[in-house]
Amino acid sequence: MKNNLTNKAADNIRILSAAMVDKANSGHPGGAMGGADYANILYSEFLKYNPDDMSWPFRDRFFLDPGHMSPMLYSVLALSGKFSMEDLKNFRQWGSVTPGHPELDTERGVENTSGPLGQGHTMAVGAAIAERFLSARFGEWMSHKTFSFISDGGIQEEVSQGAGRLAGFLGLSNLIMFYDSNDIQLSSETDEVTTEDTAKKYEAWGWKVLTIEGNDTEAIRGALKIATEEKEKPTLIIGKTIMGKGAITDGGDSFERKVSTHGQPLSKAGASLDKTIENLGGDPKEPFQIFPEVEELYKKRQEELRQWVKEFEAEKEKWEKANPELAEKLESFLSGDIPEFDFAALEQKANTATRAASGTVLAAFADQVENMIVASADLSNSDKTDGFLKKTHPFAKNDFTGAFLQAGVSELTMACVMNGLALHGGVIPVCGTFFVFSDYMKPAVRLAALMELPVKYVWTHDAFRVGEDGPTHQPVEQEAQIRLLEQLKNHHGENSMLVLRPADGTETTVAWKMAIENTETPTALILSRQNIKDLPANSDRYTDALQAEKGAYIVENDANPDVILLASGSEVATLVDGAALLRERDGLKVRVVSVPSEGLFRSQEKAYQEEVLPVDVPKFGMTAGLPVTLKGLVGDAGAVWGLNSFGFSAPYTVLDEELGFNGENVYKQVKIFLGK
């Protein structure tokens, strides 16, 4: 009897999923119909959360990887009371809360934005790490599970290797993933693409693997029971499911296991929507309804969860009374408060590389910012995240008392994991690698910007001055690319990313201050490999550098300047050298401006922008990247000295001379620009 009701609830999800897609005339019904049994049992029997506060921090998490299976997620959440039938009817429509691929909406139970396959379950790895990190500090009383759902496509995406390897290596026994193995993908059956043994692959990574009939109620229930009791390994449940389960034609013939149902409405794929709904026990004239007995099943689950939350909160209260200082710290972590830190007191070495200056800041954070997690893609001693690592130790299996993640050579995996850490909450995620390898990370950086996650990226070796490593390691176009996210607005109308390229050690300190205080969007710090001369101080250098909080500021200024020189990062000091020659040789009046963030500068009031960069004064920019990086600042009448080609292999000092990045060439080019 129990299974009859459970199966009816799963059929309810199938009906709603198919109806949503057909009404929208767009979407992916087949996978949602096949995965409905697992989603139903997970939500009606296993997933623990607070029905009255979906952002309650001690909840289990569910991360969907195949975002195209959003109808399944929205439908099961509708059974849970988080979406209305009107919401489902407005699937994929303007202004609806049910977009084509799920977008982060914690209050309605959507834990992550998904769509680009492979990223969703890798975020789940990050959330599982965050849970272990916090439990290691505050106790197992607060432990919870992270559930994830992946498809054939997600398994094929290369990032799945990084996620599988890392989760197995760390023994994330709190991570349970269901693999919806229906042998169908968008344009073919899977055996036309791969015949690998997925179970053996995950076993080799250190996972517990269970293979079941993925539409069998008892098999799903039994696998989840085993998985939730596992103490040593992450668990992969391979569910052999049926694509388009329950779909039939007008003539009543089965239309299951068809490629066509993957990416189009049933009525376009060759099935009959009305007959399918009838076959599943629904009313074709009004498919958007929850069966009364299914509604009762989910209401009963809600009451069970409310009782569980009540008991949990009672235990939590006992723990808080016994551990008042820890309780206060936990509250601070979970609230997302900006940690107290005296940036003004931090001393930087003179004329240092900005990567080294960042390492100095991170070393201080290791002592004072207790909920920071730092990661590096096998480059900690080069990107100087080892400043942090030296004060702690890396995560290891059964040991999350440290605060450093050795991600290995897997930049995209690392970036996705950082998103998962941020989504879980309670921690501050930071990750580092060479700037040129931001190309590997871009898909995850883009999702961080879309989800408005405060991940901090430490991107070092910021230009051709990587030198002898040559053009494969020398970023040229990367800054222009990543700064596009300063122009792209998020759904709150704000710059979707804060991008900072500090000009010296002290400005790096201020950049980190800005990064820590930015809790609304991701932040990128683009840092030099080589030493940079400190910029001149008009008063106190830290006080001067605080002006970077407006995105751009005046470093040197002559009254009524004849020309304004502007740059970010290493090139600002070069402009200072060139400005000295222009004054000394030609008596020109020069202003030098540091622009660590054009996006932030453009967000300031017009009056400040015109104070720093008056419209009627000629502007000359210098960048180690593409000239377009500064084109918007110098204007059509201005000039930019930059790179229009890939770099070259040679010592960086030679490259500076050969490519014209020195004070003498600044003098020469400004004279040409001014026609003097």
Active site residues: 411
DSSP class of 546? G
- Coil vs helix vs strand at 336: coil
- Coil vs helix vs strand at 452: coil
8 A C-beta contact, residue 148 and residue 98: no
Nearest by Cα to 35 from 277, 268, 262: 262
Instruction: Spell out the residues 6+ positions from residue 221 whose beta carbon is closer than 8 angstroms to its own.
Output: 41, 45
Residue for token pair 């068809």: 258
Nearest by Cα to 184 from 197, 198, 194, 169: 194
Phi/psi at 520 (nearest 5 deg)?
-110, -25
Nearest by Cα to 150 from 186, 192, 178: 178
Nearest by Cα to 91 from 61, 69, 66, 112: 69
Residue 350: strand pairing partners: none
Token output for 528: 């030099």
Residue 430: strand pairing partners: 374, 456
Dist. CA 136–CA 402, nearest whole Å: 9
**Torsion angle (degrees, nearest 10) of CA 648, 650, 656, 657:** -100
- Coil vs helix vs strand at 564: strand
Give the DSSP H or E segment for 556.
strand 553-557
Nearest by Cα to 593 from 548, 526, 628: 548
8 A C-beta contact, residue 356 and residue 384: yes
8 A C-beta contact, residue 564 and residue 591: yes
Dist. CA 247–CA 379, nearest whole Å: 51
